[in-house]
Every structure is written in structure tokens, then in C-alpha cells.
Amino acid sequence: MPTEPKKDRQKVPLGWRMDPIPSRPAYRDDDGNIRIPVWLTKSGRHMADTEMVLLPSEAALLADHLAKAMRDNARSMLHEFFRESATALGPGAVYVSKPDQYRLH
């Protein structure tokens, strides 16, 4: 059943939006497709729970695009905090040098 948008101080974006459902992980169905549970909202109003269904090749392409966008356009709080004493080894993996070498400002 659709819900009314919350009356927050933040302006709700107009149009359709898909958000992953945090409590429901993506999974592979019996046909080999990747299913991602999502909430559909329209102008801040919940319309439905559904699933995005992707072929494995489409899921891999989406994962590559998301990883690239996160790598190229965003710096995590951890990277900012340890920017002079840490080295990113890969997505989600950071090497931090010995504690006595931290140069926090």
C-alpha cells in the first residue's frame, strides 16, 4: 500500500526512485539471474517492493560501473582520516602504517 511522503525539512526529489532494501540481500534465482530487492518510490511516496532482475553479465557490468564510480568520484571517511598514512590496496582494503607513524592534523 502506498505511503504518504514524510514532511521533512529536506526537499523530496520528484519522480521515480529505486533504493535497495537493506534487510534483503541480492541473490541468484533458480534460472541463474541475479535478483536485487528494491523499494520503488515516486516523489518520496513508497509505491512498491519489487526486485531488479539482471542476467549475470548485466549484474557484472553494474558492479563494475558502481565500483568505478565509487573509486573515481568518492573518498571514504577512512581514506580522508588516514590520507597521509594509509594506502588503498583495492575496494574495501586499506593498509595503515604503524600507529606511531600517524600524522593526524
pLDDT digits (tens, 9 = 90+) for 31-48: 999 999 999 999 889 999
Q: Model-level pTM?
A: 0.57
The single residue listed with the C-alpha cell 533504493 is 19
Beta strands in 1-97 (DSSP E): 16-20, 27-28, 34-42, 45-54, 86-90, 93-96
Residue 92 predicted with pLDDT over 70: no
At 12 the pLDDT is 74
Average pLDDT of the chain, as a whole number: 77
Residue 99's nearest CA partner among 82, 78, 79 is: 82
Q: Residue 24: is its pLDDT beyond 80? A: yes
Q: What is the pLDDT of residue 53?
A: 95
Do the Cβ atoms of 36 and 51 come closer than 8 Å?
Answer: yes
